[in-house]
């Protein structure tokens, strides 16, 4: 039987928990974190927690004093128990009531866990084939850095990928520059220098983005956070994408045409797994 953690209570996942007044449903008034548990460890929970706390502050939640990193770690482990490898989704939304103006700003949390088999990140054997989605542009706003439940641009881009048989696609910002893909942050390699869209380009401030930038700099690689236009794509030697649940994946083609090399990805994932093994938060 599948279970969820609803505001501290472990209940059957099929139990109705929302009313029509739910603000996540009505307005997308919610934040979420996608977290990987590996061998019972939550190696990057501090980064997820920092982003969640920052997001709740920006959105004006009344953050309870007990909403600490240890609190959320314990609440996740109440759900996963003695099992070891999971994809976790932690959602925090504002309490019911009100129209655009809330009746109160108390947060409610929901934790879901899907058990998986892998206890480390692995390299995708086949490179991704991706395209470019241009119908909807991401706003150049600080809100774009948050993982909110307002995900319509990503849903539309995902549908576009399905129609074109692509693994993923770039999303552009309102200035027509590359911000991210519909499911990941993106990195470009040219002459041993790595480029990635800066946070003011409308991309989500990804946890794995932060981890990979740190790993690359420890490898003495130059990482430049900058502006990148679609016209520059043919200039790069390699492209890879990052997110918290999949880790690092390399891109082989754009529009079924350009062939990119599998540079750095094996080394990054090796260092990523070493970093995880050295974490002591279990």
What is the total count of domains within the chain?
Answer: 2
Q: Provide the pLDDT for residue 82.
A: 82
- Judge if 193 and 218 occupy the same domain: yes
- Judge if 55 and 195 occupy the same domain: no
- The pTM for the full model equals 0.96
Q: Which residue range is the domain that position 201 belongs to? A: 128-278
Residue where a domain stops, chosen among 74, 94, 115: 115
- Judge if 135 and 267 occupy the same domain: yes
What's the order of all strands across the beta sheet hosting 86-94?
A: 9-12, 3-6, 107-115, 86-94, 30-37
Residue where a domain stops, chosen among 115, 139, 165: 115
Ranges of beta strands (E only) in 45-117 are 86-94, 107-115
- Average pLDDT for the chain: 96
Give percent of the chain above pLDDT 70: 99
- Judge if 62 and 144 occupy the same domain: no
What is the per-residue pLDDT across 98-141, written as a single tens digit (0 to 9) for each? 999 999 999 999 999 999 999 999 999 999 999 999 999 999 99
- Judge if 211 and 274 occupy the same domain: yes
What is the per-residue pLDDT across 168-185, written as a single tens digit (0 to 9) for each? 999 999 999 999 999 999
Q: By CB neighbour count within 10 A (0-12 exposed, 13-18 middle, 19+ buried), where does 46 fall?
A: middle
CATH number of the domain that residue 81 is part of = 3.30.470.10
Confidence tier at 282 by pLDDT (50, 70, 90): very low
- Judge if 181 and 99 occupy the same domain: no
């Amino acid at each position: 039987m599948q279970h969820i953690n609803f505001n501290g209570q472990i209940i059957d996942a099929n139990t109705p928990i929302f009313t029509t007044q739910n603000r996540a449903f009505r307005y997308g008034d919610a934040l979420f974190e996608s977290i990987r548990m590996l061998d019972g460890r939550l190696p990057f929970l501090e980064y997820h927690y920092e982003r969640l706390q920052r997001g709740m502050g920006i959105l004006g939640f009344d953050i309870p004093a007990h909403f600490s990193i240890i609190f959320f770690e314990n609440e996740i482990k109440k759900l996963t128990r003695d099992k070891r490898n999971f994809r976790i989704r932690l959602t925090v939304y504002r309490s019911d009531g009100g129209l655009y103006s809330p009746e109160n700003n108390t947060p409610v949390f929901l934790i879901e866990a899907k058990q998986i088999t892998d206890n480390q990140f692995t390299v995708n054997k086949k490179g991704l084939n991706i395209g470019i989605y241009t119908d909807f542009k991401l706003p150049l706003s600080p809100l774009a850095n948050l993982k909110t439940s307002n995900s319509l641009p990503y849903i539309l881009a995902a549908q576009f990928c399905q129609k074109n048989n692509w693994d993923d696609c770039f999303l552009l910002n309102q200035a027509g520059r590359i911000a991210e893909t519909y499911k990941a942050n993106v990195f470009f390699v040219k002459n041993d220098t790595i480029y990635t869209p800066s946070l003011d380009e409308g991309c989500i401030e990804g946890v794995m983005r932060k981890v990979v930038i740190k790993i690359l700099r420890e490898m003495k690689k130059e990482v430049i956070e900058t502006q990148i236009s679609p016209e520059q794509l043919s200039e790069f030697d390699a492209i890879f994408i990052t997110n918290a649940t999949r880790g690092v994946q390399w891109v082989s083609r754009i529009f079924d045409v350009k062939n990119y090399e599998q540079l750095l990805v094996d080394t990054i994932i090796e260092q990523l797994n070493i970093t995880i093994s050295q974490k002591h938060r279990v």
